[in-house]
Chain A
Amino acid sequence: MTNPTISRVFISMETMVDEIPPTTDDRTAPARGAGWDLSAERWIALFASIARGEVAALHGLYDHAAHRLYGLALWRTGSPEDAADVVQEVFVKVAEQGRRLERVRNPRSWLLTVTHRLAVDLTRRRKVRQSEVLDEHPYLEADSGDAGRSVDARRASAHLAGLPARQRDAIYLRHFADCTFAEIARIVGVPTFTAASRYRLGLQRLRRLMEQEQ
């Protein structure tokens, strides 16, 4: 007995209030090819399964997305505990969306947007100092068990802690979340040029810090 047009408008209003990106955002381009081990079609299928209430799909989503989402939250909050809280909140938000998840055209970008917003909110609430990253919880770790790379990872983490959070976000989204600059711009809510500029300046500064150390 619900008017679908009115419901659609009201749903989008409510999602704005909850600071969840609208699921019917036409500007969101389809995800490019495979990312995070899944093709765009499989991401959409995964979201559709969750929209139908399949708990197994939720587990699948965690397996595919949690690592990247946790990394983004950690890079923004600087705290493993806060990052874990953010990831949990993201999954609760996903479950709350229900049938609206079927309208998400780029699930990967949508997840990163929700994670980024929640992490920013949490950081503002707790007034966490971005540079306070603990040695035992670095931003990066070595891909292999190579001791040399582990040292590199620790050094890079220390330098990353000195970057402005915006530049760090851009570097993470570009380098570790495989986002285009247009996607980064949509996720953090800035023009594409600004997103690219933040990435470039961040890398330049990181490189300078590493060279100075050597």
Chain B
Amino acid sequence: MTSDQDRLLDALKPPQPPPELRDRSLRAATDVLRRPPVPDRWTRIWESRPLRLAWAAAVAGLLVANTLIPTTPRPAPATAQGFSLHQLSRAAEDEIRAIATMPRLDLNARSLSGVVSAAAARTGAEETQSPNQKENA
């Protein structure tokens, strides 16, 4: 901003307020100033007598209810702390076993591994026999 531009409005000033404005403004402001201060709404809530009584009554009611209501024995909470580690692992094993055990369609069927091993055993026995034994067989 150049000083030339700043000089554009030199020697000029805004007009004076009307003379009667002084009395008007000061009278209105003085009236407000002399009024007792009006507390804001939160202060009014904080200092409200009915609200304090209501709060005290609610607290008293809770205390009475806490004293008078009979306490019944409650079952132990079923939390993880109620199980031992052994119980947990056994339960897990049972579950895994139930999943892994496949139902069999034919209860007399032999497993493939059983057939293979039986055949292998038979072949090995034949190889160890002497030619005479084979002829006899």
Interface residues of A (CB under 8 A from B): 1-3, 6-7, 10-11, 13-14, 50, 53, 55, 58-59, 62, 66-68, 70-72, 74-75, 80, 83-84, 87-88, 90-92, 94-96, 98-99, 137-144, 146, 149, 152-153, 156, 171-172, 175-176, 199-200, 203-204, 206-207, 210
| Residues in B whose Cβ lies below 8 Å from that of A80 | 15, 18
B29 proximal to A (CB < 8 A): yes
Main secondary structure of the interface of B (DSSP, over half): helix
B residues with a Cβ closer than 8 A to A are 1, 5-6, 8-9, 11-18, 21-22, 24-26, 28-34, 37, 40-43, 46-47
**C-alpha gap A189/B72 in the complex (Å):** 64
Partner of A141, one of B1, B13, B17, B22: B13
Contact B25 A91, beta carbon cutoff 8 Å:
yes
| B18 engages A84 (CB within 8 Å) | yes
B13 and A143 within 8 A (CB) = yes
What secondary structure prevails in chain A residues at the interface with B?
helix
Q: Provide the residues of chain B in CB contact with A156, threshold 8 Å.
A: 9, 12
Determine the distance from Cα of A128 to Cα of B30 in the docked complex, in whole angstroms. Answer: 30
Contact A149 B28 (CB under 8 A): no
Interchain CB contact under 8 A, A2 and B9: no
Inter-chain contact B21/A87, CB cutoff 8 Å: yes
A143, B21: Cβ atoms closer than 8 Å: no
Cβ of B19 to closest chain A Cβ, rounded Å: 11
B25 touches A88 (CB 8 A): yes
A204 to B40, CA, bound (A): 47
A75-B14 in contact (CB<8A):
yes
Query: What are 28 A-B contacts with C-beta separation under 8 Å?
Result: A2-B43, A3-B46, A13-B42, A50-B33, A53-B33, A58-B26, A66-B21, A70-B16, A71-B15, A74-B15, A80-B18, A84-B17, A87-B17, A88-B24, A91-B28, A92-B32, A95-B30, A95-B33, A99-B37, A140-B9, A141-B13, A149-B11, A149-B12, A153-B12, A156-B12, A176-B9, A203-B8, A207-B8
